Amino acid sequence: MGDHWSVVRTIPDVARTVGLRVELWICSAGYGLIRPDTQIKAYQATFTRGEDDYIGAGLQECEHILQRWWDGVCGYRFPKRNDAPRTIAGVAAAFPHTPMLIALSADYLKAVAEDLAQVLARPYFHHHLAIVSCGTARPHATWKHHLLPCDASLAGSLGGSLTSLNARIARHLVQSMTSTELTLHALRDIATSMNRIHGPSPSRSPQSDARIAAFIRKGVAQSPRTSKTRLLREFRRGGQACEQKRFGAIYAWVRQELSPGT
């Protein structure tokens, strides 16, 4: 759900218009590397600091903790998909001559840093792996030369919410390719030439209590154990505004409505 995923799922179709075939893979804090059609159960885990379901809550901030968790969830084997790659390095091994474009938030990028290091052990990816991560201010020594010049100033020209900006940049890069090979050099040139608008971040539109309640009911129906924090994040990703305390009050009211007496 949400603005981010709605952008991601359009990338393969956009790529076909310029003669490219794009395969999507998802970095999931609950299941490791998965495909869009992988059947999973609802889960509450994230690499994003400050969220209710942050996997490092209560622990000392350490990049190694995120990486150990990533290694653990990637170790899970789906009963019907034993041959599918379960890590980014596994994808590189399965497709050793296919360019790779990584679009992740700063926290998720930290979690997969060691995985990416294994990818870059392959000479082909020295020139065929590019990273979009607008929130990453201090790039990792291993992949710092692969981080494209992207930041929040691109939001003004690409539109949408900041939470989907990495996905929008990735889509724009693919759509702007004039050749059929996604090299690091070609993608960096496109990213560098993109129009930047320095100013206030994209605004969100306020919504009524009734509309917010309807959004919460739908979210709870799809995932009964979903938290108010996750729903608020998805709500804001869609470009809609609501103050946290107000959203929490409406969430509690809807929960009471759906489960009287709890």
DSSP symbols for 165-217: HHHHHHHHHHHT-SSS---HHHHHHHHHHS----SSPPP-EE--HHHHHHHHH
44 within some domain: yes
Do residues 214 and 248 both lie within one domain? yes
Residues 6+ apart with CB under 8 A from 138: none
Do residues 97 and 216 both lie within one domain? no
Do residues 154 and 243 both lie within one domain? no
Do residues 38 and 63 both lie within one domain? yes
Task: Residue 73: name the closest of 129, 19, 34, 125 by CA.
Answer: 34
Do residues 223 and 180 both lie within one domain? no
Helix (H) or strand (E) holding 32: strand 32-34
Task: Residue 194: name the closest of 135, 136, 148 by CA.
Answer: 148
Structural domain ending residue among the three candidates 139, 173, 193: 193
Do residues 134 and 215 both lie within one domain? no
Do residues 211 and 188 both lie within one domain? no
Domain around 76: 2-193
83 within some domain: yes
Phi, psi of 240 (to 5 degrees): -110, 150
Residue written as token pair 């990338």: 11
Do residues 230 and 188 both lie within one domain? no
Residues 6+ apart with CB under 8 A from 81: 38
Structural domain ending residue among the three candidates 154, 171, 193: 193
Q: Per-residue pLDDT for the chain (262 aa), expressed as one digit of tens each?
A: 678 888 999 999 999 998 999 999 999 999 999 999 999 998 889 998 877 788 888 777 677 899 999 999 999 988 877 788 999 999 999 999 999 999 999 999 999 999 999 999 999 999 999 999 988 877 788 889 999 999 888 887 887 777 889 999 999 999 998 876 789 999 999 999 998 876 554 556 677 888 888 899 888 888 888 888 888 888 887 778 888 778 888 888 888 888 765 5
Question: Into how many domains does the chain fold?
Answer: 2
198 within some domain: no
